[in-house]
Chain A
């Protein structure tokens, strides 16, 4: 390819690059958009940060491909019913594929390590355990999943379910570990406001530890719910349970009133 051809090539690269920049700027609007449920816990904040970070990296990757395709469709198209000439012979044997491989490889390894493995390390306290977060927690709640509802038992013996209590009351700014069991088939305990889920498997106890940081309740914010997130048969869609996050004082008085009510 001669001098004239490389200048042409450079012009194409610059114009396509501008298109890439514009599309990326538009795509990055997603980074500042409110895509998320309420940030109800420490873990939720971490999730939202990591999600936004991956968006910042992912958007330019997507827009790179899109801008190349769109630019090519406009700049290199041939009109007419039959192609009358061939394009330049570009084999892709030289430096370009190697640079591409290095860049994509580097990006993959980077994302794998941060936030992948680093995030994982923060979420897993014990290699041999089945679940998320620290094993030590201030409040430990036994959760039992069955077709098609939930049963929760507090440390003092209080149980809540659709028959008693009707909502899962949790104290704010306290670490809470859910020990999750399944009575019949595989279910999954998911709390959207906290961004954590762990499956309930018959035959083992799984767990997840969360620290709620914001008070809220299901009737005003549907993210405050326990939702079964593994298809468990007929009424899987209805297997949800309201949550209420309250202050420590309110939590204690609620517990006391449940005890008085004979729970």
Chain B
């Protein structure tokens, strides 16, 4: 941390000196100094946290050294074990989620009635912007970085990711991002929302530069992580694990990683252009100098639309995975589900301007984007085909992971249907930028992905910690969260249709009752997480010891101890069949030749 601070000040001073040498006025007061300081600060931080000793030394021909701390201390070091990194991601992002949730409760407290109660417009806007970007970060990184990192190598029979040090790097880039974002309320606030549209973002006198730098860094973790998953999944599958036998969660991670690799640059470059407009006198978005604010929106949404699929597809994959194991049936229409993921990948890149129907872009763009957006509902529907076909006539074991997985299907069905109202331009014109949109994306992202995140946490908790959580408390958490969530966000559609737009601290008084209802239910939802935190912390410390396969599931991670040994598989597994062939006589997913020759993960 010290190295990070030193780096920041060195960078800051360096740039100020360069600028004063070049004869620029106010050489010490420009935002470009912050840019220089930030870059060197992040480098200093990374080196100090362990990247220097464990990796960078070898760039200079020096020997690297490992530092393997025991127990809980590992989680605070540059540790390259994917299992450690997965847990680091999960814990870090659950903390961010809860913090951003508190901010949301602050917002709902203010919005419980019209008029400004205790927040100024500036404080509200800043809180809203921070809530938005923190939750976007959670949605992009929690399942992918947390569950993905932990489970993918285990599910494919690998001993780690393809690039373990790169993996650790992506996690340790997160603290500077978090610190920078958390600094914004004290340095002017995020005035523009997470979407940062210019000219507001290029002219605002707030903490915009911090936002831009943090997001570019965060995007880097997404891109590098995507690369890591792709190489791992392509090259490190155990012998016998053909693409047709890949667990569906791994398929969803594979597709998601393509999107992360290919599209994240859009957000980074859009914000880079904002930075250049701000500090380098460029005019990408200055119409008086030949620029166009709409350019930003196109580049931004080019990433930010695929981003929502980056958020939701691992959620779908996780839900389907859990549904199959807890229905004791093969995943119904597995090939269609895989096709669905690939179809969504293909279409995700050509629908972005449905976020811009009322933006004043030329009229001829609306038709094609409407068509492409409607088409995405078809592969999405195939995910539902797979889920519903799997639970139908199954032997449903309604433990908490399964309840959350089923809730994903329920919630996203609602969110997906409301998406149609937004994809159709005639209705979108009124609904754009209203609380109808806010309700829609909370249904899809929270209802779809965050519920899946909790499904994954409960599902893999015994594997990760070696202890079992309390099932009754977990069910309490589920029902409380499910009911609170649906009451809050279903109601939220109504003020949107009635004429309440987004990102406002104050609204017409005729909408008082609806907003009060949303706020009260929001607090109900927020309270459910207290049950979760108590259960998880208590069970982690002193829950009953978990067996290696509490769920009697067939996939590879359940064939090793809880938690797994450092190298994951003492003996490399050989894949002999499909992961979900429950009920198929004599079928076996994997064997461990050499241990005892006995099949593991077999059917009954």
Q: Which residues of B contact A131 (CB under 8 A)?
A: 360, 363
Given A86-B582, A92-B333, A97-B385: A222 in contact with B292 (beta carbons within 8 A) = no
Q: Shortest beta-carbon distance, B515 to chain A, in Å?
A: 13
CA distance A217 to B371 in the complex (A): 38
Q: Which residues of B contact A157 (CB under 8 A)?
A: none
Contact (Cβ within 8 A) A236 B203: no
Q: Which residues of B contact A92 (CB under 8 A)?
A: 332-334, 336, 385-386, 389
Is B470's beta carbon under 8 Å from chain A?
Answer: no
Restricting to A54-99, which residues have a CB under 8 Å from any CB of B?
54, 58-59, 61-62, 65-66, 68-69, 72-73, 76-78, 82-83, 85-93, 96-97
Contact (Cβ within 8 A) B413 A62: yes
Contact (Cβ within 8 A) B363 A130: yes
Please tell me which stretch of B177-185, B429-437, B455-463 contacts chain A, meaning at least 4 of its Cβ atoms lie within 8 angstroms of it: B429-437
A-facing mask of B308-348, CB < 8 A → 1, else 0? 00000000000000000001111011111000000000000
Restricting to A28-70, which residues have a CB under 8 Å from any CB of B?
35-37, 46-47, 50-51, 54, 58-59, 61-62, 65-66, 68-69
Q: Which of A58, A109, A188, A236 contacts B358 (CB 8 A)?
A: A188
Please tell me which stretch of A196-204, A245-253, A255-263 contacts chain B, meaning at least 4 of its Cβ atoms lie within 8 angstroms of it: A196-204
Q: Shortest beta-carbon distance, B355 to chain A, in Å?
A: 12
Please tell me which stretch of B33-41, B501-509, B589-597 contacts chain A, meaning at least 4 of its Cβ atoms lie within 8 angstroms of it: B501-509
Is B127's beta carbon under 8 Å from chain A?
Answer: no
Q: Which residues of B contact A72 (CB under 8 A)?
A: 388, 391-392, 394, 396
Restricting to B488-540, which residues have a CB under 8 Å from any CB of A?
494, 497-499, 501-510
- 11 A–B contacts from the bound complex (CB under 8 Å): A69-B410, A76-B394, A86-B603, A87-B393, A89-B582, A92-B336, A93-B333, A101-B382, A108-B381, A195-B429, A231-B502
Q: Which residues of B contact A203 (CB under 8 A)?
A: 287-288, 292-293
Contact (Cβ within 8 A) B499 A223: yes
CA distance A236 to B392 in the complex (A): 50
Name the residue on A nearest B195 (C-beta). Answer: A231
Is A165's beta carbon under 8 Å from chain B?
Answer: no
CA distance A62 to B493 in the complex (A): 15
Contact (Cβ within 8 A) B427 A69: no
Contact (Cβ within 8 A) A87 B583: yes
Restricting to B194-223, which residues have a CB under 8 Å from any CB of A?
195, 197-200, 203-204
- Which of the listed residues A65, A73, A111, A231 has the most CB atoms from chain B within 10 Å of its own CB? A231
CA distance A186 to B361 in the complex (A): 13
Contact (Cβ within 8 A) B395 A86: yes
Contact (Cβ within 8 A) B406 A73: yes
Contact (Cβ within 8 A) B360 A201: yes
Q: Which residues of B contact A235 (CB under 8 A)?
A: 121
Given A68-B388, A69-B409, A72-B392: A197 in contact with B423 (beta carbons within 8 A) = no
Given A115-B424, A117-B371: A105 in contact with B336 (beta carbons within 8 A) = no
Q: Which residues of B contact A100 (CB under 8 A)?
A: 381-382, 385
Name the residue on B nearest A239 (C-beta). Answer: B504
- How many CB-defined contacts (below 8 Å) exist between A and B? 303
**Contacts from A to B (Cβ < 8 Å):** 9, 12, 35-37, 46-47, 50-51, 54, 58-59, 61-62, 65-66, 68-69, 72-73, 76-78, 82-83, 85-93, 96-97, 100-101, 104-105, 108-109, 111-112, 115-117, 119-120, 122-124, 126-132, 184-186, 188, 190, 192, 195-204, 206, 222-223, 225, 227-238
Q: Which residues of A contact B364 (CB under 8 A)?
A: 127-128
Is B552's beta carbon under 8 Å from chain A?
Answer: yes
Restricting to B355-384, which residues have a CB under 8 Å from any CB of A?
358-364, 366-367, 370-371, 374-375, 377-378, 381-382, 384
A-facing mask of B284-311, CB < 8 A → 1, else 0? 0001100011100000000000000000
Is B28's beta carbon under 8 Å from chain A?
Answer: no
Name the residue on A nearest B365 (C-beta). Answer: A127
Please tell me which stretch of B1-9, B145-153, B414-422 contacts chain A, meaning at least 4 of its Cβ atoms lie within 8 angstroms of it: B414-422
Report whether over half of chain A's contact residues are helix, strand or loop; otherwise say mixed. mixed
Q: Which of A90, A109, A190 contacts B329 (CB 8 A)?
A: A90
CA distance A78 to B582 in the complex (A): 15
Contact (Cβ within 8 A) B429 A128: no
Given A65-B384, A90-B329: A227 in contact with B396 (beta carbons within 8 A) = no
CA distance A73 to B358 in the complex (A): 42
Contact (Cβ within 8 A) A90 B427: no
Q: Which residues of B contact A62 (CB under 8 A)?
A: 413-414, 417
Beyond A54-B424, A222-B499, 16 additional contacts (C-beta under 8 Å) are A58-B420, A72-B388, A73-B406, A86-B328, A86-B329, A87-B582, A88-B393, A89-B584, A90-B389, A93-B333, A116-B370, A128-B363, A192-B499, A229-B358, A233-B191, A237-B121
Contact (Cβ within 8 A) B393 A9: yes
CA distance A120 to B385 in the complex (A): 31
Is B232's beta carbon under 8 Å from chain A?
Answer: no
CA distance A228 to B424 in the complex (A): 22
Contact (Cβ within 8 A) B366 A124: yes
Given A108-B375, A117-B367: A230 in contact with B386 (beta carbons within 8 A) = no
Q: Which residues of B contact A96 (CB under 8 A)?
A: 333, 385, 389
CA distance A78 to B335 in the complex (A): 27
Given A86-B583, A108-B375, A229-B433: A119 in contact with B381 (beta carbons within 8 A) = no
Is B29's beta carbon under 8 Å from chain A?
Answer: no
Q: Shortest beta-carbon distance, A89 to chain B, in Å?
A: 5
